Amino acid sequence: MTKRLLAVLAHPDDESFGPGGTFARYAAEGVDVHIAIATDGAAGSVASGYEEAREKLAEVRAGELETAVSVLGATLHTLGYRDSGYINDPANQHPEAFINADEYEAIGRVVRLIREIQPQVVVTHDETGNYFHPDHIFCWKITTPAFHAAGDPTQYPDIGPAPYQPQRLYYTAFPNTMIKFYTFLMRLRGQDPRHAGRNKDIDFTRLGFPRNKIHAVIDYRDYWDVKREASAKHASQGGGTGNSRALPEWFQRRFLARETYIRAVPPVPDGFRETDLFE
């Protein structure tokens, strides 16, 4: 039986900067990996040198996304929404912004994908949106009910082929041990972790989950370069160079090439640990 994975993520770049190592590894191991990106990324910030791309950012980012997803070895789907900004961004007032979408209708778009693709495993952002990004949180908010509705013949009866119930639902989540390590590095470099990110509006000290809430750890050491290559395709977003630039690459590859998840369905007790989403 073919193993299939569907990830529903907010922005063009979340698939590479986020769980890209997991996707690259599973695709290389023969899993049919599908990535659905909810928004066009048009409210995202642009890296220096890409100011001109501002005007046609959705178009630029669609091209970057397509090449990044093919580097990962996955199949791309889009939900077709307009990007919202970070908390308090004026882009969030736009009536077509993802976070203002009709929830019932948005859940239906994910139900359709689940019924068409029939994945055993579904992945989305966690309830904190990794760093409280409203689009990430909205992904969690629609994908969780869609996971359950897809297998229920009484819900969305006219959408997609027959009802299909995936087996597992995972949320991408960072352990706060890792976050503490990054905030330590930020302080070393004279940065304030409570006002981080390009717009200084991300409070790193509030991020992450206790270690015993992290249920799955995927080692992607052998796919480190693939993730890096896919991330580099998002040039208008800086190509995925983060805090870890301060660390030697051998160290990162050896100790940081892990992506971590909360297992939402079926539920598991705190402290549970697995190393394969299909195990």
Minimum distance of Zn ion from residue 131's CB (angstroms)? 9
Coil/strand/helix, residue 90: helix
Q: How far is the CB of 124 from Zn ion (least distance, A)?
A: 12
Kindly state whether residue 11 participates in binding Zn ion, applying the rule CB under 5 A.
Answer: yes
Q: What are phi and psi of 4, to 5 degrees?
A: -130, 140
Specify the pairing of strand 216-219 against strand 4-9.
unpaired
Point out which span in 11-19, 46-54, 80-88, 206-214 binds Zn ion (CB under 5 A): 11-19
In the complex, minimum distance from the CB of residue 9 to Zn ion, in angstroms, rounded to a whole number: 7
Q: How far apart are CA 148 and CA 264, in angstroms?
A: 12
Minimum gap (Å) between residue 17 Cβ and Zn ion = 8
CA pair distance 94, 84, nearest whole angstrom: 8
Q: Which range touches Zn ion (CB under 5 A), out of 2-10, 96-104, 180-188, 219-227?
A: 2-10
User: Which residue stretch of 10-18, 34-42, 79-87, 170-178 sits at the interface with Zn ion (rule: CB under 5 A)?
Assistant: 10-18
141 binds Zn ion (CB under 5 A): no
Q: Tell me the site size for Zn ion, rule CB under 5 A.
A: 3
Cα 138 from Cα 84, distance rounded (Å) = 10
Stretch that binds Zn ion, among 5-13, 21-29, 138-146, 226-234 (CB under 5 A): 5-13
Residue 198, CA distances (Å) to 216, 223, 248 in order:
30, 28, 23
Cα-atom radius of gyration of the chain, to the nearest Å? 18
Single residue of 6, 10, 113, 137 touching Zn ion by CB under 5 A: 10
Q: How far is the CB of 144 from Zn ion (least distance, A)?
A: 17
Q: What is the torsion angle, in degrees rounded to the nearest 10, for the CA atoms of residue 193, residue 128, residue 180 and residue 215?
A: -160
Q: Name residue 36's beta-bridge partners.
A: 8, 77
Of residues 14, 40, 229, 259, which one binds Zn ion by CB under 5 A? Answer: 14
Closest approach, Cβ 32 to Zn ion, in A, equals 24
**Where do contacts with Zn ion occur on this chain (CB under 5 A)?**
10-11, 14
